[in-house]
Chain A
Amino acid sequence: MGITLHYFTKWLGRGNTVLYLLLFCSIGALQAQTTVTGVVADNNGMGIPGVNVTIKGTTTGVATDTDGKYTITAPDSATLIFSYIGFNSQEVAVDGKELINITLDENVQTMDEIVVIGYGTQRRQDINSSISSISSEDIEDLPQVSIDQMLQGKASGVVVTNNSGQPGSSTSIRIRGIGSISGTNEPLYVIDGVPISGDSQNKATSGRPIAGGDFSSQGNNSVSPLAMINPSDIASIDILKDASATAIYGSRGANGVIIITTKTGRRGTGKLSYETSISFQEQSRLLDAMDLQQYARQQNALAAAFGMEPRAEFAQPHLLGSGTNWQKEIFQTGILKNHQLSFSGGGENVNYYLSGSYTDQLGTVIGSGFKRYTFRSNIDAKVRDWLKVGSFVTAGITNEEITLNSQQNGIISTSLLQAPDMAVRNLDGSYAGSPENNQAIAYINPVALALTKSNELVRKNFLGNVYTEITPIKGLTYRFELGANTEFSENDEFTPTYQWGEFGNELADLNKRRQNWYSWNIKNLITYRNTFGNHDVTLLVGQEANESVWDGLLATAQGFLSNDVPAIGLSDVAGRTVTDYRGSQALSSYFGRVIYNFADRYSLTASIRADGSSKFSPEGKNQWGYFPAVSGSWNLSNEAFMAGTKKYVDNIRFKAGYGEVGNQQIANNQYSANLAFFDSGLGLGPLGANIANPNVKWESQKQSNFGLDFTLMDGRFAATIEYYNKQSEDFLVVQPLADMITGGFQWEGGLAAPYVNLGVVQNKGIDITLNYNTDPNKAFSWNSTLVFSKFKNEVTELNDQLTLQRSVNTNDYTTVTATNTVVGMPIGMFYGYESLGTIKTQEQLDNAPLTDLGTTDPIPSLLGDIEYVDQNGDGFITEADRTFIGNPHPDFTYGFTNNFRYKGIDLSIFIQGSYGNDILNLTRRSGTLNAFPYTNQLSEAAGYWTPDNSNSDIPRPVNNLGHANLLISDRYVEDGSYLRIQNITVGYSLPTDIISRVKLTKLRIYAGVQNLYTFTKYEGYDPEVGSFNQDALLTGVDNGRYPSPRTITMGLNVEF
């Protein structure tokens, strides 16, 4: 036999393959065959459609159907392989069994494997820079309308605060601290390859809001640039944090890059899924404002203090009722409804994902609401073996009702100041006006205004990217991408005529803003990847060009024949005006990158990008910027000598990187002297608009990153610890020039100060991510992730002749300096006087310094005035005695996500918080001014100092807003630390065997509560204050912010 076999193999060796195959097949045919059936399910017992079931050693195979069922005919001796992306493959010998049910384990490791980096992808273990990834599961069930809001607490080094609770409003995202002072600090978003700026202020483009008049509604009303993306469409989010990762984005990478990839279809039977949820939202906290009795007593007391006649109707306060509680009047229960339907699947060569969604949110403040419709189609196809094409297209339409939220007639702060002696409505149902008074001090009925005035914003956004990928030879790909993004926005703001008490609007006003904007983006990318033994090399050469064009039309009309139809055609011809604005910007770029990996132990990445920007003078040398980066890593665990330690600690990697990135996000034409045209009684005429700086150039940022990754306990515990040092140089800042030189703001007829490059800001920080998983195959599993971010921001260099003080407009129509930025301190520190409480004794009064704030004579204090610390000891309280009274930057922020699973039940608990930051509570200041009559105050304002209440630290009332008692001081600075139970969700998935009877593959119901409780000492509505219109220098200033509500959500996910 031995000899026969020998000859047989020899004969085979002669190349009689055909015969061999024939022989093999005939042998196969002779073997006993079994028809095997079964269900392939996941850990939850749900059938997985599209699982490949193949006979080992052959190409024969089938795929499971929608219920996870399969049928295959295989030899008795065969082994079946069950494989599916994202799951560990399993092999089972047939051995004559006719029923083989399989449970596949999800392979978390595999899921995480591919990370999207700029212009390419990379295996997680090869990444040398700092990138956080968030998967769709991490953000599901969160009832937020926009993705940026969902990132809160999910990634280390990423601090997310909601600037306002207004539906659809903007968010401040700070990736590793604050690097820019004037420019935006928001990251660049790249959605399916299309770049989108996170700057909601359009600072670098039109400079105009998309809602409201150009100058009339300068409140905290910016809307999120991401509000039109449906969060359910997102597959993964990769956050590029350090400069060695973002340098490939060059001049747009300084604030980090958030790459968002939407879902694509998977090969297998089509899947239809439907998700719906409903949420109820309510303000969890109201402030303690005075009721009518308290108000009447306070009015009487103030009248006495100011030397005014007391009001007759308040002679007997105890006979009065409680009056109107304006806070209750302006808040309502908000309802958020969500529906989303998606279809996905794929065949041999084409994969598809189609979805549509509808979101309808009624805000918690009257007059606010948000609706969104989205449609998405993602398709990719393999045309030939060497040619792939694909497209990502989404359309989003949003419709927002924007409530009054501007600086001085903001509905929230107005509701605190509106007198409770005014009714919301008269007996006949019409809106009431404020009672007549001889000082014409009154706030308009905020309910009437919010419900009468309409401010509607419709945005139609279309975003898409098409690509062609050619692989002419193995390892070499050429990819061409054409992306475009366009938005048409329509804003109509209409104030009808009304008469509420003595306040009336005789002429209705209409502001119509029509803005359209588009950008296109062309990319040519050549990637070459090859492996030579232990050497793995990836080369990238690319070119990109980007242009943005905007055009807006703003029409106003006044005097309408009817309040019902606010059409310009029905307005008074003489009251019509129209203006427009337009502009464009361009960026041209070239870049290259090399990634080298040796034996999975050492890895090196180097990249460089050159950007040319239209922001800078075409005549100077500053139009082009160059941004290099290099990073490397060492995987210690893969060294041979570490083999013994693998069972204790594994995947130990050290990373180090350095990169330079830029920022060019400033308004256009800062290099030229522009004119601004104004109307006058003499007709239209130009005034100088700005002081030109032909030398303005890129803001540059240098960042080093050092990281350590390791896992313990068979990979169940994973840790990433990173340290960074980020230095922003030549930052672009509007030169803070004295009013004497500029003449005030440009819109007031002054010259806008130039953008200059000055100073250095440093951010040093540590990001830690810890993750723990129990065995996911057990009936009970638990996954927990803790992210911790800490950074220290410091201005290390500044032109010493410049002062970076930032002021805010308060509710009392004054402007106060709130922050100051100096060398050696973090940026945007609260700036004011240090107070020592009220002057309570004669002795204290005798020793108190005089107040000398520019008045001709220094003013002696009286008993009951605030005593301030004379910082420079000159015996007077002057401007020079202002000091730093609070730090808006937290010591650290954290997020703690916990997911528990027991059979079909899942529970997630998400806690998030911030520690060590201060808040400047200007809402409280305006609620305790005691400076003028006819205005309501917080209850605490009644406890002001009097000879009979001499222990009070609330100063005596003075009828003068400029009085020293009301200066910005540490009296208004509060600890803003908080710990918030942000989300608790319980879900239940019905077992597969039950739902498969109704042809379902998944049915999950869930209920959750968001913003359940906040542990904080802060006395305002909400310690999560954010930045006023994303301004880094006005962080933590609470000026009547629309608070985030508490939300209860119920939802349903169904899959066919």
Chain B
Amino acid sequence: MKKYIMNVKSLFLLLSAATVVSCSDEFLNRPPEDTLTVDNYFSSDAQVAASTNGLYNRTWFNFHNKAFFAIGEIGSGNGFSYSSDVASLKTLTISSTDPELINAWRGLWATVAQSNNIINNLATGVSPAVSQGAIDTAIGEAKFMRGLAYFYIVRLWGPVPIMENNLEYVNTPLIPTNPESDIYEFIERNFESAIELLPEKVRGSNYSSNARVSKGSAKAFLAKVHLYQQEYTEARQLAEEVINSGEFKLYGGPELPGKTFGDLFLTVNNNNEESIAAMQWVASGSYGTASNANTQFAYSPYINMATYGGVFAPSQDLIGAFEPGDIRRKETVMLPGDVYPNITTADGPGLVVPADIDAQGSGAGIKKYVVGKTSDLAGPADSWGMMENNTYFMRYAELLLIHAEAVLAGAGSTSDGAALNSYNMVRERAGLDPVASFTFEDLFHERRVELAFEGDYWYDLGRIPQSMAIAIITAQDRGDATNSVFVTPPSGDFLRLPYPATDLAQNPLLNQDPVPYNFD
């Protein structure tokens, strides 16, 4: 009987023990154990500063990976490909289910969503230990990136919704679009706010400290945004502020004579003095933090040792676009016999382009953003063959051309000294003779050869009179080296992309008339 009582005792002991374990609130309260939450993150300057790192990298990955170049280069006629994932851009028949269209859309909205998160979270709850300066800089960077993402979005799709807090739309996913003019207004406000919040900077030879955007970066982009709206006075003023600040320098220009145009694209020169803003790639253990340009552009795995890629080639039209003596030709397009001592291949340092180079049947290959296989100059690659060479959002050379164009201000031609100074700096760096005057067509051509394969020409074509864009595209040979192909652009606003079908299904208001945005 004693034993029996003992057992009953232990029974209740066990019961109560189990009840204590399971009843305590602790048992059912399990915050994340391998990450932090928004509520407990922003507690030091260093944490706030790191919160914008992803806005230079991951959020751009989807857009940059292929669509950035497929649209910017193949669509514009600089590039050429038979690869069926990007070929719709060659014939200007991009459908709403096009995979690269969807990637571009997702990536750009990722930057908007994450920028909004930072802006809203920093505005509401930050530990008192965080300095106002750190908050301002982070919000400034987020506004810069939000403005930049919307700048791409509006140029690619036109009217879209302006969203300043994505969480507000979770339960009301039917969001009307806002007119383009409101979106441009929104972009300007973002860059203006960034100019106020971001620190001043001078881009020195310590490249790693040049990586983040500054007041000057925001001004440069605001100048470009004004230029797109033909607001030449504002564009010129901002461009001149940037030029006069001395923040940026032309690589191989008068202030940095030891460098060359080609050096701009070596991984070791990431964040050089000419870089106004750039995506900051790194080869890490996870997919999606490095640049795919080297694998997509190199004409053969012989160069990059990648197991896939080689999607892009230069178009016949671009190959013939360079003036004789333009050093940018060799740094943009590879032709048989070209020598690249800085590119390491499967056979070791130095590439002599073979006579049978024939990427996509083009008889040539792309050079810009091709760094070769891993080397001291090219840096490491990740497991997917992606590398760390940064992608420019804007270089100082473009700002000089923006300045020249803003001075030209829509006139037929100009011989204004300020305009010529900027314009000729770019030409002379390219090994070409200075000119005494230039027309808009000259400048437009200069932009194309300077910025080819940097993902910009499509947008340039989209901001000129449509008749001019049609004339340019109709005249382009969009075939390979042996078969010329000419494409007549479709009627209508053919440089506008369709909204992705999946999002249109979620939000049919995308196809309705825009409604004005309430900026309050």
Contacts and interface: CB of A to CB of B under 8 A. Distances in A.
A589 B482 CA distance: 75
Given A679-B286, A686-B41, A805-B505, A545 B27 contact: yes
A583 B34 contact: yes
Interface in A659-705: 668-669, 672-689, 691
A505 B280 contact: no
Given A556-B285, A679-B289, A738-B502, A859 B93 contact: yes
A944 to B, nearest CB: 16
A967 B82 CA distance: 20
A739 B382 CA distance: 27
B211 A682 contact: yes
Contacts of B58: 678, 680, 687, 748-749
Interface in B1-58: 4, 7-8, 11, 14-15, 18-19, 21-23, 25, 27-39, 41, 50-54, 56-58
A613 B29 CA distance: 9
A759 interface: no
Interface in A866-911: 879
Given A680-B57, A805-B505, A307 B479 contact: yes
A679 to B, nearest CB: 4
B290 to A, nearest CB: 9
A684 B286 CA distance: 12
B270 interface: yes
A668 B54 contact: no
Interface of B: 4, 7-8, 11, 14-15, 18-19, 21-23, 25, 27-39, 41, 50-54, 56-62, 82-85, 87-88, 91-99, 102, 105-107, 109-114, 117, 160-161, 163, 166-167, 169-170, 172-175, 211-212, 270, 279-282, 284-289, 299-302, 305, 307-311, 346, 358-361, 373-374, 380-383, 388, 390, 479-480, 482-483, 485, 489-494, 496-507
Nearest to A929: B84
A813 B286 contact: no
B109 A743 contact: yes
Interface stretch (A1-9, A144-152, A572-580, A948-956): A572-580
Contact of A743 (B36, B93, B114, B302): B114
A156 B73 CA distance: 59
Contacts of A613: 28
Given A439-B310, A504-B305, A853-B97, A682 B212 contact: yes
A737 B53 contact: no
A570 interface: no
Nearest to B357: A438
A558 interface: yes
Given A583-B33, A854-B95, 4 more contacts: A216-B383, A438-B361, A816-B97, A853-B97
Contact of B32 (A439, A672, A687): A672
Interface stretch (A177-185, A266-274, A957-965): A957-965
B114 A749 contact: yes
Contacts of A503: 301, 307
Contacts of A753: 170
Contact of B84 (A673, A686, A749, A959): A959
Contacts of A583: 30, 32-34
Contacts of A673: 37-39
Contacts of B279: 681
A1018 interface: no
A544 B54 CA distance: 44
Interface in A118-166: none
Given A581-B34, A584-B33, A739-B105, A748 B113 contact: no
A614 B28 contact: yes
Contacts of B34: 580-583
A694 to B, nearest CB: 12
Contacts of A836: none
B280 A585 contact: no
A741 B85 contact: no
Contact of B300 (A440, A585, A879): A440
Interface of A: 213-216, 306-309, 386-387, 436, 438-441, 444, 470, 472, 478, 480, 502-507, 509, 522, 524, 543-545, 547, 554, 556, 558, 574-575, 577-586, 588-589, 612-614, 618, 623, 668-669, 672-689, 691, 735-745, 747-751, 753-754, 801-803, 805, 807, 812-817, 853-857, 859, 879, 931-933, 959-964, 967
A584 B53 contact: no
Nearest 4 CB-CB pairs, A to B?
Answer: A854-B498, A685-B53, A440-B310, A681-B280
A617 B510 CA distance: 35
B21 A741 contact: no
Which of A440, A614, A681 neighbours the largest number of chain B CB atoms within 10 Å of its CB? A681
Nearest to B169: A741
Contacts of B107: 743-744, 748-749
Contacts of B117: 687-688, 751
B34 to A, nearest CB: 5
Contact of A507 (B50, B160, B381, B500): B381
A554 B25 CA distance: 32
A588 B25 CA distance: 10
Contacts of A584: 30, 33
26 contacts: A308-B483, A472-B4, A503-B301, A507-B305, A545-B18, A582-B34, A586-B30, A672-B37, A672-B38, A673-B38, A673-B39, A678-B286, A680-B280, A680-B281, A682-B212, A688-B38, A738-B506, A739-B106, A749-B54, A814-B85, A853-B95, A854-B497, A854-B498, A854-B499, A857-B492, A931-B84
A528 to B, nearest CB: 14
A623 B25 CA distance: 11
A526 to B, nearest CB: 9
B345 to A, nearest CB: 11
A669 B25 contact: no
B82 A306 contact: yes
A209 to B, nearest CB: 14
A674 B40 CA distance: 10
Given A307-B483, A801-B174, A813-B85, A386 B4 contact: yes
B314 to A, nearest CB: 13
A554 B285 CA distance: 10
Nearest to B305: A506
Contacts of B57: 678-682
Nearest to A853: B95
A218 to B, nearest CB: 11
A691 B167 contact: yes
Contacts of A439: 82-83, 310, 359-361
Contacts of B212: 682
Which of A216, A307, A687, A689 neighbours the largest number of chain B CB atoms within 10 Å of its CB? A687
Which of B11, B93, B346 neighbours the largest number of chain A CB atoms within 10 Å of its CB? B93
A470 B11 contact: yes
A574 B56 CA distance: 22
Contacts of A744: 62, 106-107, 109-110
Contacts of B84: 812, 931-932, 959-962
Contacts of B287: 213, 215-216, 747
Which of B31, B390, B480 neighbours the largest number of chain A CB atoms within 10 Å of its CB? B31
B289 A678 contact: yes
A470 B189 CA distance: 76
Contacts of B173: 737-738, 741, 801-802
Contacts of B507: 738, 740
A742 B113 contact: yes
Contact of B36 (A472, A686, A963): A686
B388 to A, nearest CB: 7
A685 B47 CA distance: 8
A589 to B, nearest CB: 8
Contacts of A480: 11, 14
A544 B14 CA distance: 12
A669 B56 contact: no
Which of B51, B58, B112 neighbours the largest number of chain A CB atoms within 10 Å of its CB? B58
A478 B11 contact: yes
Which of B61, B82, B493 neighbours the largest number of chain A CB atoms within 10 Å of its CB? B82
